[in-house]
Chains A and B, each alone.
Chain A
Amino acid sequence: MSDQIKQAIQEYATRLGDDSVVLGHRISEWVSYGPFLEEDIAYGNVSLDYIGRARMFYTYAAELADDGRDEDDFAYMRNDREYRNLLLMELPKGDFAYSQVRQLFADVYYTLMLPELLQSKDETLSAIAAKAIKETKYHLRRSRDWVLRLGDGTEESHKRTQKALDQLWGYTHELFDMDETEQLLADAGIGVDVSRLRDSWLKMVSDILTEATLTVPEDSWAVRGGRVGYHTENLGHMLTEMQIVHRSHPGCKW
Protein backbone atom coordinates (compact mmCIF):
# COMPACT_ATOMS: atom_id res chain seq x y z
CA MET A 1 0.00 0.00 0.00
CA SER A 2 1.42 3.41 -0.95
CA ASP A 3 1.93 5.99 1.79
CA GLN A 4 -0.56 8.25 0.12
CA ILE A 5 -3.28 5.59 0.15
CA LYS A 6 -2.45 4.56 3.67
CA GLN A 7 -2.77 8.10 4.89
CA ALA A 8 -6.03 8.52 3.03
CA ILE A 9 -7.47 5.40 4.65
CA GLN A 10 -6.43 6.65 8.07
CA GLU A 11 -8.20 9.94 7.39
CA TYR A 12 -11.24 8.09 6.04
CA ALA A 13 -11.49 5.76 9.05
CA THR A 14 -11.20 8.79 11.33
CA ARG A 15 -14.04 10.55 9.53
CA LEU A 16 -16.30 7.52 9.75
CA GLY A 17 -15.34 7.09 13.41
CA ASP A 18 -16.19 10.74 14.06
CA ASP A 19 -19.61 10.35 12.42
CA SER A 20 -20.30 7.33 14.60
CA VAL A 21 -19.13 8.67 17.93
CA VAL A 22 -20.89 12.00 17.51
CA LEU A 23 -24.22 10.48 16.47
CA GLY A 24 -23.90 7.75 19.10
CA HIS A 25 -23.34 10.40 21.75
CA ARG A 26 -26.36 12.40 20.66
CA ILE A 27 -28.57 9.32 20.75
CA SER A 28 -27.31 8.40 24.22
CA GLU A 29 -28.63 11.75 25.46
CA TRP A 30 -32.12 10.25 25.18
CA VAL A 31 -31.59 7.51 27.75
CA SER A 32 -34.10 8.06 30.60
CA TYR A 33 -35.73 10.90 28.62
CA GLY A 34 -37.72 8.76 26.17
CA PRO A 35 -41.53 8.83 25.84
CA PHE A 36 -41.73 5.36 27.43
CA LEU A 37 -39.44 2.68 28.77
CA GLU A 38 -39.18 0.63 25.57
CA GLU A 39 -37.80 3.69 23.81
CA ASP A 40 -35.13 4.22 26.47
CA ILE A 41 -34.01 0.69 25.72
CA ALA A 42 -34.12 1.19 21.96
CA TYR A 43 -32.13 4.42 22.16
CA GLY A 44 -29.53 2.69 24.31
CA ASN A 45 -29.33 -0.08 21.80
CA VAL A 46 -28.81 2.17 18.78
CA SER A 47 -26.33 4.36 20.61
CA LEU A 48 -24.36 1.28 21.61
CA ASP A 49 -24.13 0.20 17.97
CA TYR A 50 -22.68 3.55 16.96
CA ILE A 51 -20.19 3.66 19.82
CA GLY A 52 -19.11 0.16 18.82
CA ARG A 53 -18.62 1.30 15.24
CA ALA A 54 -16.63 4.31 16.35
CA ARG A 55 -14.31 2.05 18.33
CA MET A 56 -13.66 -0.15 15.31
CA PHE A 57 -12.99 2.76 12.95
CA TYR A 58 -10.74 4.55 15.45
CA THR A 59 -8.84 1.40 16.31
CA TYR A 60 -8.12 0.95 12.64
CA ALA A 61 -7.12 4.59 12.21
CA ALA A 62 -4.80 4.24 15.21
CA GLU A 63 -3.28 1.10 13.78
CA LEU A 64 -2.50 2.89 10.51
CA ALA A 65 -1.19 5.97 12.30
CA ASP A 66 1.12 3.69 14.29
CA ASP A 67 2.19 6.51 16.60
CA GLY A 68 1.15 5.05 19.94
CA ARG A 69 -2.35 6.51 19.95
CA ASP A 70 -5.41 4.38 20.63
CA GLU A 71 -9.17 4.72 20.03
CA ASP A 72 -9.59 7.00 23.03
CA ASP A 73 -6.90 9.40 21.82
CA PHE A 74 -8.94 9.83 18.68
CA ALA A 75 -12.21 10.34 20.54
CA TYR A 76 -11.04 12.33 23.54
CA MET A 77 -7.87 14.15 22.61
CA ARG A 78 -8.91 15.95 19.44
CA ASN A 79 -10.64 19.35 19.44
CA ASP A 80 -13.79 20.27 17.58
CA ARG A 81 -11.75 21.87 14.79
CA GLU A 82 -10.00 18.54 14.28
CA TYR A 83 -13.21 16.51 14.21
CA ARG A 84 -14.33 15.55 10.71
CA ASN A 85 -17.90 14.37 11.22
CA LEU A 86 -20.84 15.36 9.03
CA LEU A 87 -22.73 18.30 10.55
CA LEU A 88 -26.01 16.37 10.60
CA MET A 89 -24.63 14.08 13.29
CA GLU A 90 -23.68 16.81 15.76
CA LEU A 91 -26.94 18.77 15.86
CA PRO A 92 -28.59 18.67 19.31
CA LYS A 93 -31.13 15.98 20.00
CA GLY A 94 -34.10 18.34 19.75
CA ASP A 95 -37.53 16.87 20.30
CA PHE A 96 -38.47 13.27 19.55
CA ALA A 97 -39.52 14.10 15.98
CA TYR A 98 -36.25 15.92 15.30
CA SER A 99 -34.16 12.98 16.50
CA GLN A 100 -36.19 10.45 14.54
CA VAL A 101 -36.01 12.45 11.31
CA ARG A 102 -32.24 12.83 11.69
CA GLN A 103 -32.08 9.11 12.36
CA LEU A 104 -34.09 8.31 9.25
CA PHE A 105 -31.73 10.42 7.14
CA ALA A 106 -28.72 8.65 8.64
CA ASP A 107 -30.24 5.18 8.47
CA VAL A 108 -31.18 5.45 4.79
CA TYR A 109 -27.71 6.84 4.11
CA TYR A 110 -26.01 3.90 5.81
CA THR A 111 -28.40 1.45 4.19
CA LEU A 112 -26.99 2.60 0.84
CA MET A 113 -23.42 3.33 1.85
CA LEU A 114 -22.53 0.25 3.87
CA PRO A 115 -23.15 -2.39 1.16
CA GLU A 116 -20.72 -0.39 -1.00
CA LEU A 117 -18.18 -0.28 1.81
CA LEU A 118 -18.63 -4.03 2.19
CA GLN A 119 -17.14 -4.32 -1.34
CA SER A 120 -14.05 -2.38 -0.27
CA LYS A 121 -10.69 -3.88 -1.18
CA ASP A 122 -9.64 -2.98 2.33
CA GLU A 123 -10.49 -5.99 4.49
CA THR A 124 -10.88 -4.09 7.75
CA LEU A 125 -13.28 -1.53 6.32
CA SER A 126 -15.22 -4.31 4.68
CA ALA A 127 -15.46 -6.26 7.95
CA ILE A 128 -16.70 -3.21 9.87
CA ALA A 129 -19.31 -2.66 7.16
CA ALA A 130 -20.47 -6.28 7.41
CA LYS A 131 -21.22 -5.86 11.11
CA ALA A 132 -22.80 -2.44 10.72
CA ILE A 133 -25.14 -3.54 7.92
CA LYS A 134 -26.99 -5.88 10.26
CA GLU A 135 -27.44 -3.16 12.86
CA THR A 136 -28.59 -0.65 10.27
CA LYS A 137 -31.41 -2.90 9.10
CA TYR A 138 -32.88 -2.74 12.58
CA HIS A 139 -32.20 1.00 12.90
CA LEU A 140 -33.98 1.79 9.64
CA ARG A 141 -36.99 -0.33 10.50
CA ARG A 142 -37.30 1.65 13.70
CA SER A 143 -36.80 5.18 12.34
CA ARG A 144 -39.04 4.46 9.34
CA ASP A 145 -41.82 3.20 11.61
CA TRP A 146 -41.48 6.25 13.81
CA VAL A 147 -41.58 8.75 10.97
CA LEU A 148 -44.68 7.02 9.58
CA ARG A 149 -46.42 7.10 12.95
CA LEU A 150 -45.42 10.68 13.73
CA GLY A 151 -46.17 12.01 10.26
CA ASP A 152 -49.54 10.29 10.04
CA GLY A 153 -50.38 10.49 13.76
CA THR A 154 -51.92 13.60 15.29
CA GLU A 155 -51.93 17.14 14.00
CA GLU A 156 -49.26 18.04 16.53
CA SER A 157 -46.96 15.13 15.70
CA HIS A 158 -47.34 15.90 12.01
CA LYS A 159 -46.47 19.55 12.56
CA ARG A 160 -43.44 18.73 14.67
CA THR A 161 -42.15 16.19 12.17
CA GLN A 162 -42.59 18.49 9.19
CA LYS A 163 -40.78 21.22 11.09
CA ALA A 164 -37.90 18.85 11.86
CA LEU A 165 -37.69 17.90 8.19
CA ASP A 166 -37.52 21.52 7.12
CA GLN A 167 -34.88 22.28 9.75
CA LEU A 168 -32.69 19.30 8.89
CA TRP A 169 -32.97 19.11 5.11
CA GLY A 170 -30.19 21.59 4.44
CA TYR A 171 -27.72 19.39 6.33
CA THR A 172 -28.31 16.35 4.10
CA HIS A 173 -26.51 17.63 1.00
CA GLU A 174 -23.15 17.32 2.67
CA LEU A 175 -23.70 13.57 3.05
CA PHE A 176 -23.03 13.15 -0.66
CA ASP A 177 -20.01 15.41 -1.07
CA MET A 178 -16.67 14.01 -2.21
CA ASP A 179 -13.26 15.59 -1.73
CA GLU A 180 -9.82 14.60 -3.03
CA THR A 181 -9.17 12.08 -0.27
CA GLU A 182 -12.44 10.28 -0.74
CA GLN A 183 -12.15 10.39 -4.53
CA LEU A 184 -8.70 8.82 -4.33
CA LEU A 185 -10.08 5.98 -2.21
CA ALA A 186 -13.17 5.53 -4.35
CA ASP A 187 -10.99 5.27 -7.46
CA ALA A 188 -8.84 2.68 -5.71
CA GLY A 189 -11.89 0.57 -4.84
CA ILE A 190 -11.40 1.21 -1.12
CA GLY A 191 -13.82 4.00 -0.27
CA VAL A 192 -17.41 4.68 -1.29
CA ASP A 193 -18.31 7.21 -3.95
CA VAL A 194 -21.16 8.74 -1.96
CA SER A 195 -21.99 11.25 -4.70
CA ARG A 196 -23.62 8.38 -6.58
CA LEU A 197 -25.95 7.59 -3.67
CA ARG A 198 -27.92 10.82 -3.57
CA ASP A 199 -30.61 9.79 -6.09
CA SER A 200 -31.39 6.50 -4.35
CA TRP A 201 -31.35 8.23 -0.99
CA LEU A 202 -33.79 10.87 -2.20
CA LYS A 203 -36.07 8.21 -3.65
CA MET A 204 -36.12 6.10 -0.50
CA VAL A 205 -36.59 9.06 1.82
CA SER A 206 -39.27 10.63 -0.39
CA ASP A 207 -41.24 7.38 -0.50
CA ILE A 208 -41.26 7.14 3.27
CA LEU A 209 -42.13 10.81 3.74
CA THR A 210 -44.95 10.62 1.22
CA GLU A 211 -46.40 7.56 2.92
CA ALA A 212 -46.14 9.50 6.18
CA THR A 213 -48.21 12.33 4.58
CA LEU A 214 -45.21 14.67 4.94
CA THR A 215 -43.87 17.08 2.35
CA VAL A 216 -40.39 16.58 0.94
CA PRO A 217 -38.62 19.93 1.45
CA GLU A 218 -37.24 21.98 -1.45
CA ASP A 219 -33.48 21.96 -2.00
CA SER A 220 -33.30 25.66 -1.24
CA TRP A 221 -30.38 25.75 1.18
CA ALA A 222 -27.35 23.69 2.15
CA VAL A 223 -24.85 23.95 4.98
CA ARG A 224 -21.47 22.24 4.66
CA GLY A 225 -18.13 22.02 6.41
CA GLY A 226 -17.95 18.98 8.70
CA ARG A 227 -15.30 17.20 6.65
CA VAL A 228 -12.94 20.18 6.94
CA GLY A 229 -13.66 20.89 10.60
CA TYR A 230 -15.95 23.85 9.98
CA HIS A 231 -18.65 22.84 12.46
CA THR A 232 -21.85 24.19 13.92
CA GLU A 233 -21.58 25.79 17.35
CA ASN A 234 -22.97 22.61 18.91
CA LEU A 235 -19.99 20.32 18.56
CA GLY A 236 -17.73 22.32 20.87
CA HIS A 237 -20.24 22.00 23.69
CA MET A 238 -20.75 18.33 23.04
CA LEU A 239 -17.03 17.57 23.12
CA THR A 240 -16.49 19.74 26.19
CA GLU A 241 -18.86 17.47 28.05
CA MET A 242 -17.70 14.24 26.49
CA GLN A 243 -13.98 14.89 27.03
CA ILE A 244 -13.97 16.56 30.45
CA VAL A 245 -13.17 13.55 32.65
CA HIS A 246 -10.68 11.99 30.26
CA ARG A 247 -8.77 15.24 29.85
CA SER A 248 -8.85 16.12 33.54
CA HIS A 249 -6.67 13.08 34.23
CA PRO A 250 -4.00 13.13 31.53
CA GLY A 251 -2.47 9.82 30.59
CA CYS A 252 -4.69 7.75 32.90
CA LYS A 253 -6.20 4.33 32.24
CA TRP A 254 -9.88 3.74 32.86
Chain B
Amino acid sequence: MTTSQEENFMRKISAEEKIEPKDWMPDAYRKNLIRQISQHAHSEVIGMQPEGNWLTRAPSLRRKAILLSKIQDEAGHGLYLYSACETLGISRSEMIEQLQSGAAKYSSIFNYPTLTWADVGAIGWLVDGAAIVNQVSLQRTSYGPYSRGMIRICKEESFHQRQGYEAMLALAKGSEGQKAMAQDALDRFYWPALMMFGPHDSESAHSQKSMEWKIKRETNDDLRQKFVDQTVKQIEVLGLEHPDKNITWNDERGHYDSSDLNWDEFWSVINGNGHCNRQRIEHHLAAHEEGEWVRDAITAYNEKKRAKKAQHAA
Protein backbone atom coordinates (compact mmCIF):
# COMPACT_ATOMS: atom_id res chain seq x y z
CA MET B 1 0.00 0.00 0.00
CA THR B 2 1.40 3.36 -0.97
CA THR B 3 0.23 6.64 0.48
CA SER B 4 -0.94 7.94 -2.85
CA GLN B 5 -3.25 4.92 -3.28
CA GLU B 6 -4.80 5.44 0.11
CA GLU B 7 -5.14 9.18 -0.48
CA ASN B 8 -6.75 8.60 -3.83
CA PHE B 9 -9.18 6.14 -2.24
CA MET B 10 -10.16 8.57 0.50
CA ARG B 11 -10.50 11.37 -2.04
CA LYS B 12 -13.04 9.32 -3.97
CA ILE B 13 -14.90 8.49 -0.77
CA SER B 14 -15.21 12.13 0.22
CA ALA B 15 -16.16 13.16 -3.33
CA GLU B 16 -19.01 10.58 -3.22
CA GLU B 17 -17.45 8.68 -6.12
CA LYS B 18 -18.17 4.95 -6.14
CA ILE B 19 -15.41 2.42 -5.52
CA GLU B 20 -15.44 -0.22 -8.26
CA PRO B 21 -14.11 -3.82 -8.13
CA LYS B 22 -10.89 -3.02 -10.04
CA ASP B 23 -10.06 0.04 -7.91
CA TRP B 24 -7.49 -0.14 -5.18
CA MET B 25 -9.05 -0.40 -1.72
CA PRO B 26 -7.70 -0.94 1.80
CA ASP B 27 -7.78 -4.57 2.94
CA ALA B 28 -9.93 -3.66 5.89
CA TYR B 29 -12.46 -1.97 3.61
CA ARG B 30 -12.65 -5.11 1.48
CA LYS B 31 -13.03 -7.34 4.53
CA ASN B 32 -15.68 -5.11 6.00
CA LEU B 33 -17.66 -5.19 2.77
CA ILE B 34 -17.37 -8.94 2.37
CA ARG B 35 -18.69 -9.35 5.88
CA GLN B 36 -21.62 -7.04 5.31
CA ILE B 37 -22.63 -8.11 1.79
CA SER B 38 -22.30 -11.83 2.45
CA GLN B 39 -24.28 -11.43 5.66
CA HIS B 40 -26.96 -9.68 3.66
CA ALA B 41 -26.94 -12.44 1.02
CA HIS B 42 -27.17 -15.16 3.67
CA SER B 43 -30.11 -13.32 5.26
CA GLU B 44 -32.02 -13.41 2.00
CA VAL B 45 -31.34 -17.13 1.68
CA ILE B 46 -32.06 -18.18 5.28
CA GLY B 47 -35.13 -15.93 5.19
CA MET B 48 -36.67 -18.36 2.73
CA GLN B 49 -37.13 -20.86 5.55
CA PRO B 50 -39.49 -19.09 7.99
CA GLU B 51 -41.66 -17.94 5.10
CA GLY B 52 -41.36 -21.23 3.25
CA ASN B 53 -42.76 -22.78 6.43
CA TRP B 54 -46.17 -21.43 5.34
CA LEU B 55 -46.04 -22.13 1.61
CA THR B 56 -47.93 -25.39 1.91
CA ARG B 57 -50.53 -23.94 4.28
CA ALA B 58 -51.29 -20.54 2.71
CA PRO B 59 -55.04 -20.01 3.24
CA SER B 60 -55.94 -18.97 -0.31
CA LEU B 61 -54.55 -19.62 -3.77
CA ARG B 62 -53.91 -15.92 -4.22
CA ARG B 63 -51.88 -15.73 -1.01
CA LYS B 64 -50.03 -18.89 -1.94
CA ALA B 65 -49.03 -17.33 -5.28
CA ILE B 66 -47.97 -14.06 -3.63
CA LEU B 67 -45.87 -15.92 -1.07
CA LEU B 68 -44.27 -18.11 -3.73
CA SER B 69 -43.23 -15.13 -5.77
CA LYS B 70 -41.96 -13.25 -2.73
CA ILE B 71 -39.75 -16.13 -1.69
CA GLN B 72 -38.55 -16.41 -5.26
CA ASP B 73 -37.61 -12.73 -5.16
CA GLU B 74 -35.66 -13.22 -1.93
CA ALA B 75 -33.72 -16.11 -3.45
CA GLY B 76 -33.00 -13.82 -6.40
CA HIS B 77 -31.70 -11.15 -4.02
CA GLY B 78 -29.44 -13.74 -2.44
CA LEU B 79 -28.08 -14.70 -5.83
CA TYR B 80 -27.55 -11.10 -6.81
CA LEU B 81 -25.77 -10.24 -3.58
CA TYR B 82 -23.54 -13.32 -3.77
CA SER B 83 -22.46 -12.08 -7.20
CA ALA B 84 -21.83 -8.57 -5.88
CA CYS B 85 -19.72 -10.06 -3.11
CA GLU B 86 -17.78 -12.23 -5.55
CA THR B 87 -16.45 -9.04 -7.16
CA LEU B 88 -14.44 -8.63 -3.95
CA GLY B 89 -12.56 -11.87 -4.50
CA ILE B 90 -14.49 -14.47 -2.52
CA SER B 91 -16.39 -17.38 -4.11
CA ARG B 92 -19.99 -18.33 -3.41
CA SER B 93 -18.96 -21.73 -2.11
CA GLU B 94 -16.55 -20.09 0.35
CA MET B 95 -19.36 -17.86 1.56
CA ILE B 96 -21.72 -20.81 1.97
CA GLU B 97 -19.07 -22.66 3.94
CA GLN B 98 -18.76 -19.66 6.24
CA LEU B 99 -22.52 -19.59 6.70
CA GLN B 100 -22.66 -23.26 7.53
CA SER B 101 -19.71 -23.15 9.92
CA GLY B 102 -21.16 -20.15 11.73
CA ALA B 103 -18.22 -17.91 10.73
CA ALA B 104 -20.61 -15.69 8.77
CA LYS B 105 -23.84 -14.38 10.25
CA TYR B 106 -27.27 -13.70 8.83
CA SER B 107 -30.01 -11.46 10.16
CA SER B 108 -31.13 -12.66 13.58
CA ILE B 109 -34.76 -11.98 12.73
CA PHE B 110 -34.90 -15.30 10.90
CA ASN B 111 -34.11 -17.16 14.08
CA TYR B 112 -37.60 -16.44 15.34
CA PRO B 113 -40.22 -19.09 14.51
CA THR B 114 -43.21 -18.40 12.24
CA LEU B 115 -46.06 -19.84 14.27
CA THR B 116 -49.20 -18.69 12.48
CA TRP B 117 -50.25 -17.52 9.04
CA ALA B 118 -50.24 -13.93 10.33
CA ASP B 119 -46.49 -14.19 10.82
CA VAL B 120 -46.14 -14.19 7.03
CA GLY B 121 -47.94 -10.86 6.88
CA ALA B 122 -45.95 -9.50 9.81
CA ILE B 123 -42.67 -10.47 8.17
CA GLY B 124 -43.55 -8.77 4.90
CA TRP B 125 -44.71 -5.66 6.67
CA LEU B 126 -42.19 -5.31 9.51
CA VAL B 127 -39.16 -7.32 8.47
CA ASP B 128 -39.08 -6.25 4.83
CA GLY B 129 -40.10 -2.81 6.10
CA ALA B 130 -37.11 -2.58 8.43
CA ALA B 131 -34.86 -3.96 5.72
CA ILE B 132 -36.00 -1.20 3.36
CA VAL B 133 -35.22 1.57 5.84
CA ASN B 134 -31.72 0.17 6.08
CA GLN B 135 -31.34 -0.52 2.36
CA VAL B 136 -32.62 2.82 1.14
CA SER B 137 -29.78 4.28 3.14
CA LEU B 138 -27.40 1.74 1.58
CA GLN B 139 -28.29 2.84 -1.94
CA ARG B 140 -25.70 5.55 -1.26
CA THR B 141 -23.05 3.11 -0.02
CA SER B 142 -19.57 3.73 -1.38
CA TYR B 143 -19.04 0.37 -3.09
CA GLY B 144 -20.51 0.50 -6.63
CA PRO B 145 -21.82 -3.06 -7.10
CA TYR B 146 -23.42 -3.05 -3.64
CA SER B 147 -25.04 0.33 -4.19
CA ARG B 148 -26.49 -0.71 -7.53
CA GLY B 149 -27.70 -3.96 -6.01
CA MET B 150 -29.53 -2.07 -3.28
CA ILE B 151 -31.30 0.17 -5.79
CA ARG B 152 -32.57 -2.85 -7.65
CA ILE B 153 -33.48 -4.87 -4.57
CA CYS B 154 -35.27 -1.99 -2.80
CA LYS B 155 -37.96 -1.84 -5.46
CA GLU B 156 -38.93 -5.44 -4.83
CA GLU B 157 -38.69 -5.07 -1.07
CA SER B 158 -41.19 -2.20 -1.13
CA PHE B 159 -43.55 -4.42 -3.04
CA HIS B 160 -43.14 -7.13 -0.40
CA GLN B 161 -43.82 -4.66 2.34
CA ARG B 162 -47.05 -3.48 0.75
CA GLN B 163 -48.23 -7.03 0.22
CA GLY B 164 -47.34 -7.97 3.80
CA TYR B 165 -49.21 -5.00 5.15
CA GLU B 166 -52.19 -5.79 2.96
CA ALA B 167 -52.22 -9.37 4.29
CA MET B 168 -52.18 -7.98 7.85
CA LEU B 169 -54.99 -5.60 7.00
CA ALA B 170 -57.15 -8.46 5.73
CA LEU B 171 -56.63 -10.22 9.07
CA ALA B 172 -57.04 -7.13 11.24
CA LYS B 173 -60.34 -6.34 9.52
CA GLY B 174 -61.44 -9.98 9.54
CA SER B 175 -62.95 -12.26 12.17
CA GLU B 176 -62.09 -12.15 15.87
CA GLY B 177 -59.82 -15.14 15.35
CA GLN B 178 -58.00 -13.51 12.47
CA LYS B 179 -57.57 -10.26 14.35
CA ALA B 180 -56.15 -12.07 17.37
CA MET B 181 -53.72 -13.83 15.06
CA ALA B 182 -52.61 -10.48 13.63
CA GLN B 183 -52.11 -8.93 17.08
CA ASP B 184 -50.12 -11.93 18.25
CA ALA B 185 -47.85 -11.75 15.21
CA LEU B 186 -47.31 -8.02 15.70
CA ASP B 187 -46.50 -8.55 19.38
CA ARG B 188 -43.92 -11.19 18.58
CA PHE B 189 -42.26 -9.60 15.54
CA TYR B 190 -42.23 -5.92 16.51
CA TRP B 191 -39.28 -6.14 18.91
CA PRO B 192 -37.06 -8.42 16.85
CA ALA B 193 -37.73 -6.12 13.86
CA LEU B 194 -36.34 -3.19 15.87
CA MET B 195 -33.29 -5.28 16.72
CA MET B 196 -32.62 -5.75 13.00
CA PHE B 197 -30.92 -2.34 13.05
CA GLY B 198 -28.21 -3.73 15.29
CA PRO B 199 -26.93 -2.68 18.71
CA HIS B 200 -26.83 0.90 19.97
CA ASP B 201 -24.25 2.93 18.09
CA SER B 202 -22.07 2.97 21.21
CA GLU B 203 -21.98 -0.86 21.24
CA SER B 204 -21.54 -1.47 17.55
CA ALA B 205 -18.17 -3.00 16.70
CA HIS B 206 -18.15 -2.19 13.00
CA SER B 207 -20.07 1.05 12.91
CA GLN B 208 -17.42 3.73 13.16
CA LYS B 209 -15.09 2.57 10.41
CA SER B 210 -18.08 1.71 8.20
CA MET B 211 -19.36 5.26 8.53
CA GLU B 212 -15.96 6.76 7.74
CA TRP B 213 -15.71 4.66 4.59
CA LYS B 214 -19.32 5.42 3.75
CA ILE B 215 -20.18 1.74 3.61
CA LYS B 216 -22.87 2.65 6.12
CA ARG B 217 -24.51 6.04 5.66
CA GLU B 218 -26.66 6.35 8.77
CA THR B 219 -26.23 5.00 12.28
CA ASN B 220 -28.13 2.04 13.72
CA ASP B 221 -30.04 4.22 16.18
CA ASP B 222 -31.06 6.80 13.57
CA LEU B 223 -32.37 4.13 11.23
CA ARG B 224 -34.20 2.41 14.07
CA GLN B 225 -35.83 5.70 15.02
CA LYS B 226 -37.10 6.16 11.47
CA PHE B 227 -38.67 2.74 11.57
CA VAL B 228 -40.27 3.32 14.99
CA ASP B 229 -41.74 6.58 13.73
CA GLN B 230 -43.21 5.21 10.52
CA THR B 231 -44.72 2.15 12.18
CA VAL B 232 -46.91 3.97 14.73
CA LYS B 233 -49.36 5.20 12.13
CA GLN B 234 -49.41 1.85 10.34
CA ILE B 235 -50.42 0.06 13.53
CA GLU B 236 -53.15 2.62 14.07
CA VAL B 237 -54.62 2.05 10.62
CA LEU B 238 -54.71 -1.68 11.30
CA GLY B 239 -56.63 -0.98 14.49
CA LEU B 240 -54.20 -3.10 16.49
CA GLU B 241 -52.61 -2.30 19.82
CA HIS B 242 -49.07 -0.97 19.82
CA PRO B 243 -46.80 -3.55 21.45
CA ASP B 244 -44.79 -0.77 23.13
CA LYS B 245 -46.87 0.69 25.97
CA ASN B 246 -44.35 3.52 26.38
CA ILE B 247 -44.58 4.87 22.89
CA THR B 248 -45.11 8.66 23.10
CA TRP B 249 -44.61 11.53 20.71
CA ASN B 250 -41.77 13.82 21.75
CA ASP B 251 -42.41 17.26 20.31
CA GLU B 252 -38.97 18.54 21.15
CA ARG B 253 -37.14 15.73 19.35
CA GLY B 254 -39.73 15.46 16.61
CA HIS B 255 -39.70 11.69 17.15
CA TYR B 256 -41.45 9.01 19.15
CA ASP B 257 -39.87 7.97 22.43
CA SER B 258 -39.99 4.23 23.03
CA SER B 259 -38.93 1.52 25.46
CA ASP B 260 -35.41 0.21 25.32
CA LEU B 261 -34.97 -3.21 23.80
CA ASN B 262 -34.14 -6.47 25.51
CA TRP B 263 -30.47 -6.52 24.63
CA ASP B 264 -29.80 -9.74 26.50
CA GLU B 265 -32.15 -11.48 24.14
CA PHE B 266 -30.52 -9.70 21.20
CA TRP B 267 -27.03 -10.94 22.08
CA SER B 268 -28.24 -14.40 22.93
CA VAL B 269 -29.81 -14.81 19.49
CA ILE B 270 -26.77 -13.28 17.76
CA ASN B 271 -24.58 -15.72 19.62
CA GLY B 272 -26.50 -18.64 18.23
CA ASN B 273 -28.96 -19.41 21.00
CA GLY B 274 -32.27 -18.20 19.62
CA HIS B 275 -35.31 -20.37 18.98
CA CYS B 276 -34.29 -21.44 15.49
CA ASN B 277 -30.53 -20.81 15.03
CA ARG B 278 -29.62 -24.46 14.99
CA GLN B 279 -32.66 -25.47 12.96
CA ARG B 280 -31.97 -22.92 10.21
CA ILE B 281 -28.37 -24.01 9.72
CA GLU B 282 -29.31 -27.70 9.94
CA HIS B 283 -31.94 -27.16 7.26
CA HIS B 284 -29.46 -25.39 5.00
CA LEU B 285 -26.84 -28.08 5.57
CA ALA B 286 -29.28 -30.92 4.97
CA ALA B 287 -30.48 -29.47 1.65
CA HIS B 288 -26.88 -28.76 0.66
CA GLU B 289 -25.71 -32.28 1.51
CA GLU B 290 -28.71 -33.96 -0.11
CA GLY B 291 -27.98 -31.89 -3.22
CA GLU B 292 -24.40 -33.08 -3.47
CA TRP B 293 -25.11 -36.03 -5.75
CA VAL B 294 -27.07 -33.68 -8.03
CA ARG B 295 -24.20 -31.21 -8.26
CA ASP B 296 -21.80 -34.11 -8.88
CA ALA B 297 -24.05 -35.31 -11.69
CA ILE B 298 -23.85 -31.95 -13.44
CA THR B 299 -20.08 -31.90 -13.16
CA ALA B 300 -19.80 -35.43 -14.53
CA TYR B 301 -22.25 -34.73 -17.34
CA ASN B 302 -20.45 -31.55 -18.40
CA GLU B 303 -17.15 -33.40 -18.26
CA LYS B 304 -18.48 -36.09 -20.60
CA LYS B 305 -19.81 -33.49 -23.02
CA ARG B 306 -16.49 -31.67 -23.04
CA ALA B 307 -14.59 -34.88 -23.69
CA LYS B 308 -16.92 -35.76 -26.55
CA LYS B 309 -16.50 -32.34 -28.09
CA ALA B 310 -12.72 -32.55 -27.82
CA GLN B 311 -12.80 -35.96 -29.49
CA HIS B 312 -14.86 -34.55 -32.36
CA ALA B 313 -12.51 -31.65 -32.77
CA ALA B 314 -9.44 -33.91 -32.88
State the A residues within 8 Å of B (CB): 21, 25, 28-29, 31-41, 44-45, 47-48, 51-52, 54-55, 58, 71-72, 75-76, 95-96, 148-150, 152-154, 156-157, 160, 241-242, 244-246, 248-249, 251-254
Residue among B57, B61, B65, B287 making CB contact with A34, cutoff 8 Å: B287
Stretch at the interface among B18-26, B31-39, B70-78, B247-255: B70-78
Interface contact A48-B57, CB-CB below 8 Å: no
B93, closest chain A residue (CB): A36
Interface contact B55-A28, CB-CB below 8 Å: yes
Check: B197 CB closer than 8 A to any chain A CB. Answer: no
CA distance A25 to B296 in the complex (A): 28
Complex interface: chain B residues within 8 A of A76 (CB): 59-60
A selection of 24 A-B contacts at a CB cut-off of 8 Å is A21-B61, A28-B55, A29-B56, A31-B55, A32-B52, A32-B287, A33-B290, A37-B45, A40-B48, A40-B72, A40-B75, A41-B75, A44-B72, A45-B72, A51-B64, A58-B61, A72-B60, A76-B60, A96-B290, A153-B300, A156-B297, A160-B293, A245-B117, A254-B60
Complex interface: chain B residues within 8 A of A148 (CB): 301
Check: B291 CB closer than 8 A to any chain A CB. Answer: yes
Interface contact A156-B68, CB-CB below 8 Å: no
B296, closest chain A residue (CB): A154
Interface contact A153-B298, CB-CB below 8 Å: yes
CA distance A71 to B63 in the complex (A): 12
Check: B175 CB closer than 8 A to any chain A CB. Answer: yes
CA distance A44 to B49 in the complex (A): 13
Are A249 and B296 CB-contacts (below 8 A) given A31-B48, A31-B52? no
CA distance A77 to B265 in the complex (A): 42
| 10 residue pairs, one from A and one from B, having the closest CB atoms | A35-B291, A153-B297, A157-B297, A44-B72, A35-B294, A245-B59, A149-B301, A32-B48, A254-B60, A246-B59
B57, closest chain A residue (CB): A245
Are A154 and B293 CB-contacts (below 8 A) given A31-B68, A246-B59? yes
B110–chain A nearest beta-carbon distance, Å: 11
Residue among A36, A71, A157, A160 making CB contact with B61, cutoff 8 Å: A71
Interface contact A72-B75, CB-CB below 8 Å: no
CA distance A37 to B55 in the complex (A): 17
Complex interface: chain A residues within 8 A of B65 (CB): 48, 51-52, 55
Check: B69 CB closer than 8 A to any chain A CB. Answer: yes
Are A25 and B294 CB-contacts (below 8 A) given A40-B75, A44-B69, A154-B300? no
CA distance A37 to B294 in the complex (A): 13
B68, closest chain A residue (CB): A48
Check: B283 CB closer than 8 A to any chain A CB. Answer: yes
CA distance A21 to B61 in the complex (A): 9
Complex interface: chain A residues within 8 A of B178 (CB): 249, 252
B82, closest chain A residue (CB): A37
Interface contact A241-B57, CB-CB below 8 Å: yes
Residue among A21, A44, A71, A252 making CB contact with B71, cutoff 8 Å: A44
CA distance A149 to B303 in the complex (A): 11
Among A54, A157, A254: residue with most chain B CB under 10 A: A254
Complex interface: chain A residues within 8 A of B167 (CB): 254
CA distance A32 to B291 in the complex (A): 11
A219–chain B nearest beta-carbon distance, Å: 28
Complex interface: chain A residues within 8 A of B48 (CB): 31-32, 40
CA distance A72 to B82 in the complex (A): 38
Complex interface: chain A residues within 8 A of B270 (CB): none
